[in-house]
Amino acid sequence: MMKKFFCKFYLAMIFILLYAPIVTLIVLSFNASKTRAKWGGFTLKWYSSLFQNEAIMDALYNTITIALISALIATFVGTAASIGIASMSRHFKTIFMSITNIPMLNADIVTGISLMLLFIAFGVKFGFATILLAHITFNIPYVILSVMPKLRQIDSNIYDAALDLGASPIYAFFKVIIPDILPGILSGFLLSFTMSLDDFIITHFTKGSGIDTLSTKIYAEVRKGIKPEMYALSTLLFVSVLILLIAVNKAPKQRKEN
């Protein structure tokens, strides 16, 4: 009884630690006072002025397009790579997985700097494209690390059985292997999208001037004070993801009941 209470209490404390800043930001988005130091009454004006703020809207557009495109490309390249790696001998598998671990384990600042030096050396113009290339690079490992465990669980006999029963290799591949690893592919995509959305450090070094994502825009505003519209925007993003995730989590259950 005591133990159960302690467990609940501990969970609650961690939950507060994780979500206190988020609640703070949501509260700040309704704060009529422009500074975050004092409460000036309830308002919705930041939510309406948000959509007139072109700089923020541009940054939002960049952030979402980069996250979406980089996650999509990373998912394709990463899934294909995983299938290839899974069929390799142990020796090559180890080499490939070590390379994959480099961006995961390396410090973001080192990854960011190394890519910046690469773009400078090859005279690539900094901007949207360089951010995109950088994001794809750090996203592919997340996809590979999500898909590989699923590939390991596959019973290779099922694929062989499909071939025995007359399926062409490509048909068997799409009908047997892909459905089996689909959850891994999806979680890899979602993870990449999230990581790209939340990235600041690598974007900071690869963006050049003249383009901003939400992260770099916020960083630039830190010294002058964050615009309250930013809080409104993050609240909207957070709440829409929350609703989306609740909907997705509910959906499969209903299907089962039917």
Partner 1 sequence: MNKKLLSAPYLLWAVSFIIIPLIMIFYYGLTDKSGGFTFSNILEISTSINVKALLLSLLLSLISTLICLLLAYPLAMILNNLNVNQNSFVVLIFILPMWMNFLLRTLAWQTLLEKTGVINNALAFFHLPSLNIINTPYAIVLGMVYNFLPFMVLPIYNILIKIDPNVINAARDLGANGLQTFCKVILPLSWPGVISGITMVFVPSLTTFVISDLLGGSKILLIGNVIEQKFTQANNWNVGSGLSLVLMIFILVSMAILSKYDKDGEGLI
Enumerate residues 185-244 that contact partner 1 by CB under 8 A. Answer: 191, 194-195, 197-198, 200-201, 205, 214-215, 218-219, 222, 226, 230-231, 234, 237-238, 241-242
CB of 135 to partner 1, least distance (A): 11
CB of 33 to partner 1, least distance (A): 12
Non-local CB neighbours of 109 within 8 Å, separated by 6+ positions: 201, 205
Cα–Cα distances in angstroms (integers) from residue 67 to residues 9, 28, 167, 193, in the given order: 37, 26, 37, 5
95/51 Cα distance (integer angstroms): 49
252/258 Cα distance (integer angstroms): 10
CB of 254 to partner 1, least distance (A): 15
Select 6 or 51, whichever has its Cβ closest to partner 1: 6
CB of 117 to partner 1, least distance (A): 4
Closest CA to 185 of 156, 155, 142: 142
Select 160 or 198, whichever has its Cβ closest to partner 1: 198
Closest CA to 85 of 161, 145, 162: 145
Total residues interacting with partner 1, rule: CB under 8 A: 89
Non-local CB neighbours of 40 within 8 Å, separated by 6+ positions: 31, 32, 33, 34
Which residues, numbered 96-135, are part of the site for partner 1 (CB under 8 A)?
96-111, 113-118, 121, 133-134
Closest CA to 108 of 119, 116, 98: 116
Which residues, numbered 134-173, are part of the site for partner 1 (CB under 8 A)?
134, 136-137, 140, 142, 144-146, 148-149, 169-170, 173
Select 24 or 65, whichever has its Cβ closest to partner 1: 24
**Member of 87, 160, 161, 243 binding partner 1 (CB under 8 A):** 87
- DSSP lists the bridge partners of residue 9 as none
Does 84 engage in binding with partner 1 (CB under 8 A)?
Answer: yes
CB of 246 to partner 1, least distance (A): 10
